[in-house]
Structure 1
Amino acid sequence: MATTLVIGNKNYSSWSLRPWLLLRHFGVAFDEVRLPLDTPEFHAEVGRWSPTRRVPVLRDGELTVWDSLAICEYANDRWLQGRGWPADLATRALARCAASEMHSGFAALRGQLPMNVRRQPNGYRWDADAERDIGRVQELWRGLRTRFGGQGDFLCGGFGIVDAMFAPVCVRFRGYGVRTDDTASAYMDAVFALPAMREWDAAARAETERVGADEA
């Protein structure tokens, strides 16, 4: 049965990046359908893939999974033999806390600093709510890296779902010129060095569509 991941623009779609990066990093085979956001093509096609008319959505045979974290969890069970989360129970619990916090929180950061891979810092500023989100992200990264840094370059050692959830934040911090501490900077370098992340980055920069709301 065919496996298909439907995504938005690689330049803009932060939610699409998360499961795509996880699947590609772990070598899971899938067909990719890209629907450019805010276009007639998107509105004409998305309904036949996604019950929410949003991306990403995974179609695995007759099963449809339509949430980014749920797709990652499904992939972990279906193809990764649990490798998407740390093996240690306590470490896994902390990784899930961080991933869930990203999935449900940081509204000011996501709203005011939309993901745009091609973006270069231009002096744009955000408000105090977004600054608090930025501080909390770095606090979270610092805590996990301090505890688990000896086990690898990522938040809980090796790359996993929690890192896929924060990959778009790395793009945001880079594009808006967010000042990061040494721990955050080193972590971002590790994320951007991933072959799968480099592949996404190159494809995003090659896209020509523009979404005005994400070009602040």
Structure 2
Amino acid sequence: MKLIIGNKAYSSWSLRGWLACRQSGLAFEEVVVPLYDEAWDKRREGDEFAPSSGKVPILWDGEAVVWDSLAIVDYLADKVGRARFWPEDEAARAMARSMAAEMHSSFAALRRKHGMNVRQIYAPGPIDDDVAADLTRIFELWAQARARFGGAGEGDFLFGAFGAADIMFAPVCTRIVTYSLPAPRFAAAYIGAVLRHPFLQDWIAGAQEEEWVIEKFEQPVA
């Protein structure tokens, strides 16, 4: 398998696809392409990007191609068994799938106004109402999952063990830390568990080694 991703410092959807590949336990080749550099427009017109219209991440597995983070999760779960990604309990699995799908389609204000940048930590600042609403909903989801199913297995993640729901929310965890956004105590504990996970540690280390800087994703450190 070959996974094409964007800059590790900034590409939240790439992080999700990459975490899914790591979670699968399958071997894969990682290809990082710098977003928005001089060759970006030409590169995304190539055959490897054609199925996704130039978007990352995109996973090639022989002739099979998958170009959406949640679809990559499901594709890999089909290959290795859903137990690696989804809770065994039916009610827990239903909630985990719903949360993953809501993360996939929602929270536009948080994404737009607080882009992922795992190399920075900014001082706290004002929070727009729409961002605050997104955070409130996210914390409600996390609280429900932890209260109902977090004790169902070993681990400090949403449904006990690290899985697909945690993969989908991992970039949110990095954003909360990067922008010093307020979080209740239980959420801070969960964020810490996610960021300490070996997969996240590897991703962040890779981001620190990147030389590329995209100015529109940077802001002065206060």
Using the size of structure 1 for normalisation, the TM-score is 0.94
Correspondence 1:164 to 2:162: no
CA change 1:41–1:163 in 2 (3 A) is same
Q: What is the aligned partner in structure 2 of residue 102 from structure 1? A: 103
Q: Secondary structure at the match of 1:49?
A: helix
Conserved 8 A contact 1:35-1:41: no
**Aligned residue pairs, count:** 214
Of 79-88 and 156-165, deviating more is 79-88
Of 102-111 and 22-31, deviating more is 22-31
Using the size of structure 2 for normalisation, the TM-score is 0.92
**Structure 2: runs of 5+ lacking an equivalent:** none
Correspondence 1:210 to 2:209: no
- Structure 1: which 4+ aligned runs deviate by more than 6 Å? none
* CA deviation after TM superposition for structure 1 residue 149, in Å: 2.1
* CA deviation after TM superposition for structure 1 residue 81, in Å: 4.7
Q: What is the aligned partner in structure 1 of residue 199 from structure 2? A: 196
The superposition leaves residues 75-114 of structure 1 with CA deviations (integer Å, 9 ceiling, x where unpaired) of: 1111245421111111111001100000000000000000
Aligned partner letter, 2:18: W
Q: What is the aligned partner in structure 2 of residue 136 from structure 1? A: 137
* CA deviation after TM superposition for structure 1 residue 45, in Å: 2.2
Alignment of 1:59-208 (within 5 A): 59-150=60-151, 151=153, 152-208=155-211
Conserved 8 A contact 2:124-2:181: no
The superposition leaves residues 111-145 of structure 1 with CA deviations (integer Å, 9 ceiling, x where unpaired) of: 00000001111344331101110111111111111
What is the aligned-residue identity percentage? Answer: 47
**Structure 1: runs of 5+ lacking an equivalent:** none
Conserved 8 A contact 1:145-1:183: no
CA distance in 1, matches of 2:23, 2:41: 30
CA distance in 2, matches of 1:128, 1:115: 19
CA distance in 1, matches of 2:68, 2:22: 17
Q: Secondary structure at the match of 2:39?
A: helix
Q: Secondary structure at the match of 1:33?
A: strand
Aligned Cα root-mean-square deviation (Å)? 1.3
User: Which of 8, 11, 15 is the aligned partner of 1:10?
Assistant: 8
Conserved 8 A contact 1:6-1:57: yes
Q: Secondary structure at the match of 1:118?
A: coil
